Structure 1
Amino acid sequence: MLIAFNKPFNVLCQFTDRSQPPRATLAGFGLPKDVYAAGRLDYDSEGLLLLTDDGGLAHRLTDPRHKQDKTYWVQVEGMPAPEKLQALRDGVLLNDGPTLPARVQWLETAPALWPRDPPVRFRRTVPDAWLAVTIREGRNRQVRRMTAAVGLPTLRLVRASMGPHALDGLQPGQWRWVGE
């Protein structure tokens, strides 16, 4: 089985948390038993998370050798100059090595998203912009590190799609079956 879930901000991609105080987990969303996340989405990121009960499917969805595109809508601090966008497209050098080239598009209007709780801080004197960033890797906090490396710190990160699967109107905390 395969489930698409819109992971809210500040929710762990696991069903238990041993930290004190405990943080919100997937256990609070009525998901079927015996499923687990195919890949990760950081605690402070939002959007599409695929869950499955099939280890082989989870591997095909997340292993970089299978080249599954992952597209993120990224709100960044600052205005993306053409050379910064090109650097992201070419691949940037991170502390764990260079990234593969990414597809990057500056979005002239923000994607139609739900409000985030708590909201992203707003600063009148600092502009922000939205990018659509598509990568095929899945390193720890990769998109955030990539945008920071070119001088565009991430303010909000929402995974919009993974391979052929997309949010398609799911609201935070909602899920639907997308396959067997």
Structure 2
Amino acid sequence: MPERNLEFGKFGARGIKGHEAVARQLDNLAGFIAKPVTARCGLMARLHYLTRSDHARAAAREAGLTVTDRTLKAWLDGKQTPNRRNLTRIEDAYRAVRRRNVARYLLGRLNRDGRGTRVEFHPLNQSQVSRPQQRVVSYRTLNARHWDAVVQAWSANDDEALDHAWFDDITTDLGSDYGAYEYVTNIGFAA
């Protein structure tokens, strides 16, 4: 049943893909820097995170921040400011490195030595759908025990792999109506 919602929203239903809600929740758990990269303190925090060690610098280069050490030093000293394109690269590199760094920790928290984490599925919003077209979809909970593929896809920022991992490893445990939760208003879990 998943991927059968080819015309999602045709009758007025509203929601987002389940794997997008999961990625949003994992981003919240990762604890990214709250200040925007355009603010001086946000920029400095990201640059310090990306340059605190040789390992961090290598990960930042691998994630796409390919400026010289001299330029990085000028940014850190406040002698230069990055242009808009470099600010985007700094933000992207920071998020990629942060995801990679917290993935193992999040995986341990979510799997909890085989006990898993309770997941709440908040169904899509059908308030604008006329009665004959509405589906019977309700709030559901599930204890998910296998988060490995989900966290790996999230840390790699691979949207397609996250979609497949979410349906193959988590949502199918809902039973025969798992396709009704392809689109949701929210996915909630706390680890």
TM-score norm. by structure 2 comes to 0.31
Q: Which has the higher helix share?
A: 2
Choose 1 or 2 for highest CA Rg: 2
Q: Which has the higher strand share?
A: 1
